[in-house]
Every structure is written in structure tokens, then in C-alpha cells.
Amino acid sequence: MKNFIKFVFLITIILFPFISGCKKDTEPPEVEIVSPQNNANVYGVVEIEADVSDNVGVSDVKFYIDDVKVFTDNKEPYKYSWNTDILTDSSYHTIFVIATDVNNNEGYSDTISVRIVRPDQGILKWTFTMGDVVRSSPAIGSDGTIYVGSDDYKLYAIYGSGTLANTPWPMFHHDLKHTGRVGGGFRR
């Protein structure tokens, strides 16, 4: 028995520097949402991707949308495919990610905000063919009339219905049909 006590004492003396030198990991993972960007307009299936790093190892990554956990991933790349088709157009949503390392330390991403914007929601109301290429920005009158110049040296006034306006405007640089020359001088 005396030899056993000496053996335990010797092992304790030998292992003590190693045991006391090991510190418990308390460093949380670093987490960043790399896609989508904060304040982005999104639609359809949106890839939410997080970049996660840790000094020991990552156990899992949890994705939250509007404060509700929607997915947990445990392998790189850390991604979640979010289908926004059922969401209201022009609605805002928040996203954040929590990563847990193998020692249960948690790291939090910044919360980002995205807006659902469906580009296919617009409906073509009308078209209007001009005499040449348009290289100017349109101007919109207080009555909704759209004014635009064209390379055919005419100024077009178009109603919101898509028809050519028939209201008179100043006749300076204009002919009797109320089409104007955009570039250069009087038309005789």
C-alpha cells in the first residue's frame, strides 16, 4: 500500500504542470453573415450564408429569421436556402446566426435586415413607339404626362394611358402638330 501511495504521489507531481497549464476554452466562434447583404432587396429562394471560425472547432450553426430558428447546419459551408415566395411583397425581415463551438461557447452574428421585392410584380400597361432612340431622361408633369425627347428632334408628351398628348404647350421650337425639335434652332 505504501508503494501505491508513492506511485500516485509521483504521478500527481509529474502530471500537475500539464493539468494546471491547460485552460478551458471560453472563446466564442466569430460569425458573419456574408450573404445576403444588410438592407438588400431579395426575392425567390435566397441563399443565407454565414462565415464561421473558431479556435477549437464549430459544432453547429443556427439560422434565425424574424427571431425564429429555421435551420441548423453542422458542416461547411454554412448555408440555408430560404424560400420567400409565400411572403408579402415589400415586407421587411431580420436575419441572424448563432454558432456554437465544441465547448458550447456561442458566437452571434450582427442582425441584418432584408426586404422582399418581386421584380415580376409590375404589369406592362402600355408601350409607345418613338421615331428614334431616346437618350434623355423622361420628365413627368404634375398631371402625369410624360415628356421625353428623341433623336428624331421631337419632344413627345405621352399621357399615362400611353397615347400621345393633344394638349397645347408653348409653341416655341414646335410645329403645329405640337411636336418639338429638341436639338438646334427653329423648324420652318
Categorize the per-residue pLDDT at 185 as very low, low, confident or very high, splitting at 50, 70 and 90. very low
Is the same domain home to 182 and 101? Answer: no
Taking 50 as the threshold, does the pLDDT of residue 11 lie above it?
yes
Q: Which of 99, 121, 143 is the last residue of a domain?
A: 121
Has residue 144 been placed in a domain?
yes
Is the same domain home to 96 and 84? Answer: yes
Long-range contacts of 32-36 (CB under 8 A, 24+ apart): 32/109, 32/110, 33/95, 33/96, 33/97, 33/109, 33/110, 33/112, 36/95, 36/112, 36/114
Has residue 20 been placed in a domain?
no
Cα atoms found within 13 Å of the Cα of residue 36, Cβ hemisphere only:
21
Measured at the CA of 130, the angle between CA 126 and CA 135, to 5 degrees, comes to 105
Is the same domain home to 37 and 95? Answer: yes
Categorize the per-residue pLDDT at 123 as very low, low, confident or very high, splitting at 50, 70 and 90. low
Short-list 43, 50, 49, CA closest to 93: 43
Look up the domain containing 162 and give its range. Answer: 124-188
Q: Which residue has the higher pLDDT, 150 or 73?
A: 73
Taking 90 as the threshold, does the pLDDT of residue 132 lie above it?
no
pLDDT tens sequence across 17-31: 555 555 788 899 999
CATH of the domain at 59: 2.60.40.10
Residue 134 contacts residue 153 (beta carbons within 8 Å):
no
Is the same domain home to 131 and 115? Answer: no
Q: Which of 105, 121, 137 is the last residue of a domain?
A: 121
Categorize the per-residue pLDDT at 87 as very low, low, confident or very high, splitting at 50, 70 and 90. very high
Q: How far apart are CA 182 and CA 151, in angstroms?
A: 8
Taking 80 as the threshold, does the pLDDT of residue 136 lie above it?
no
Q: Which residue has the higher pLDDT, 114 or 135?
A: 114
Please give the model's pTM, rounded to 2 decimal places.
0.56
